[in-house]
Amino acid sequence: MTNKIYFFLLIFSAITTSAVQVLLKIISSNHQENYFKAIFDPLTFVTLLLYVIAFVGWFISLSKIHFSIAIPVSSISIIASAIIGHFVFNESIGANKIIAFSLITLSMVFLYIDAIKH
């Protein structure tokens, strides 16, 4: 695999982790009265499976990508979570968030360029 593939695997893992967080939010909201019941919700098992997939992708990526690049790239989960939060939970995205997301995205572009050079 080339560094590009590992880099995209890392991004996939970060986005999958965001999806896991959304699912955990949904599960916990659905079972506010009885969290014990949430443990046996089938969606909890799907969520755990997704988290394992994200973990494996993250683990594989870290074996080939410099740590100083990999950790900042995980910030894509911030952007993914905000977008998902906007559409799923009707959370607002104001100008400050858009600017912050743009800076995060720009940073990741520079990290990607550096990653494919090495």
Please give the pLDDT value at position 48: 96
pLDDT (0 to 100) of residue 45: 96
Contact call for residues 19 and 84 (beta carbons, < 8 A):
yes
For residue 81, what pLDDT band results from cuts at 50, 70 and 90? Answer: confident
Contact 38, 27 (CB under 8 A): yes
> Please, which pLDDT band fits residue 71 given cuts at 50, 70 and 90?
confident
115: pLDDT confidence band, cut at 50, 70 and 90? low
φ/ψ (deg, to 5) at 40? -100, 5
Its pTM stands at 0.74
Inter-CA distances, 55 with 12, 15, 65, Å: 11, 11, 15
Within 13 Å, how many C-alpha atoms sit on residue 113's CB side? 6
| Digit-coded pLDDT (tens) for 22-64 | 999 999 888 888 888 888 999 999 999 999 999 999 999 988 8
Cα distances from 101 to residues 45, 68, 97, 111, in angstroms, run 31, 20, 6, 15
Q: How many domains does the chain have?
A: 1
Could you list the residue range(s) of the whole structural domain that residue 17 is in?
3-117
